[in-house]
């Protein structure tokens, strides 16, 4: 045993790194050659830009693999372990990811149109900028929290993306409309902020929240008819008072 350990240490000392499992490389070759690799051991594999449309990777272990910008359109990833894998910018159009492990998976800027994410926990993955995320994936609450966190970091475009995802899943979410109005206002889109505020006011009214409806209406009116500047107040102070109250209210939701 000591002789074996010394031999391994000697090999490593001169720069020869042994693969963790010899069969891993065989599985990588098999995948690239045939696109058929169900239940394969592909942990930490480097597959950047790999062309794997229609590949069968059902049950494969791809934990920590780098599949950035890979073409996995129509691939079968049912039950695959993608924990910690990077699929940033990957094409997953029409891919089947049913019950795949997405814990810590990087899906940022990936293309997910038509992808099947049934049985996955998309909230465990990084999904900012993902295109075509199915409406069945994620919850309104998850996207609302992500939007608020982006707003706190002054990432207003990202906040709007997430508020949009909330509204796709829950069109009557007045808080999401107000949040999007705040983000649009920060980006100088006063017209969009007015529209969102007015829609939010109407929804709050329908939902019996008179106080929030009044605040949203005041915001819309202030944006449409800003008061003339005067010493000690004016539009800026009025807007701060209204917006500040709304933000305090919705950060608690």
Domain limits, the chain: 33-134, 140-245
CATH class of this structure's domain 140-245:
mainly alpha
In CATH, what is the architecture of 33-134? 3 Solenoid (2.160)
- For residues 38-61, give the mean pLDDT: 96
Which pLDDT band holds residue 134 (cuts at 50, 70, 90)? confident
Predicted local distance difference test score (pLDDT) of residue 92: 97
* Greatest CA separation for the chain: 87
Of 41-50, 82-91, 234-243, which range is least confident?
Answer: 234-243
- For residues 21-33, give the mean pLDDT: 81
The answer on pLDDT for 109 being more than 80 is yes
Which pLDDT band holds residue 246 (cuts at 50, 70, 90)? low
Predicted local distance difference test score (pLDDT) of residue 153: 87
Predicted local distance difference test score (pLDDT) of residue 90: 98
Which pLDDT band holds residue 236 (cuts at 50, 70, 90)? very low
Cα–Cα distance list, 166 to 21, 134, 136, 160, 174 (Å): 44, 12, 12, 10, 10
Predicted local distance difference test score (pLDDT) of residue 243: 58
Predicted local distance difference test score (pLDDT) of residue 251: 45
Percent of the chain scoring above 70 in pLDDT: 80
**pLDDT tens-digit profile of 203-227?**
999 999 998 898 889 889 888 887 6
The answer on pLDDT for 245 being more than 70 is no
50 or 249: which leads in pLDDT: 50
Predicted local distance difference test score (pLDDT) of residue 149: 85
- Alpha-carbon gap, residue 7 to 76, rounded angstroms: 41
- For residues 174-185, give the mean pLDDT: 91
Alpha-helix residue ranges (DSSP H) falling in 153-225: 156-169, 174-186, 190-206, 210-224
Alpha-helix residue ranges (DSSP H) falling in the chain: 2-13, 22-34, 140-152, 156-169, 174-186, 190-206, 210-224, 235-250
Predicted local distance difference test score (pLDDT) of residue 239: 54
- Give the mean pLDDT of the chain: 83
Q: Find all residues with CB under 8 Å of 226, minimum gap 6, and list them.
A: 235, 238, 239
The answer on pLDDT for 2 being more than 90 is no
142: enclosing H helix or E strand: helix 140-152
Which pLDDT band holds residue 240 (cuts at 50, 70, 90)? low
């Amino acid at each position: 045993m000591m002789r074996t350990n010394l031999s391994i240490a000697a090999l490593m000392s001169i720069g020869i790194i042994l693969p963790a499992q010899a069969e891993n490389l065989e599985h990588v070759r098999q995948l690239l050659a045939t696109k058929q690799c169900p239940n394969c051991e592909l942990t930490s594999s480097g597959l950047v830009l790999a062309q794997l449309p229609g590949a069968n990777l059902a049950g494969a272990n791809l934990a920590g693999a780098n599949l950035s910008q890979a073409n996995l359109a129509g691939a079968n990833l049912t039950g695959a372990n993608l924990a910690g894998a990077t699929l940033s910018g990957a094409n997953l159009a029409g891919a089947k990811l049913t019950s795949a492990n997405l814990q810590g998976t990087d899906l940022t800027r990936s293309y997910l149109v038509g992808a099947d994410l049934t049985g996955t926990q998309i909230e465990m993955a990084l999904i900012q900028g993902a295109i075509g995320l199915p409406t069945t994936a994620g919850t309104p609450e998850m996207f609302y929290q992500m939007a608020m966190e982006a707003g706190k970091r002054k990432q207003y475009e990202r906040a709007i993306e997430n508020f949009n995802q909330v509204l796709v899943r829950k069109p009557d979410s007045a808080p999401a409309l107000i949040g999007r109005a705040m983000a649009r206002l920060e980006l100088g889109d006063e017209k969009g902020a007015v529209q969102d505020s007015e829609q939010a006011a109407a929804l709050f009214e329908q939902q019996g929240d008179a106080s929030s409806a009044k605040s949203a209406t005041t915001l819309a009116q202030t944006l449409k008819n800003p008061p003339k500047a005067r010493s000690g107040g004016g539009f800026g102070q009025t807007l701060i008072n209204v917006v500040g109250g709304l933000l305090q209210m919705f950060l608690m939701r």
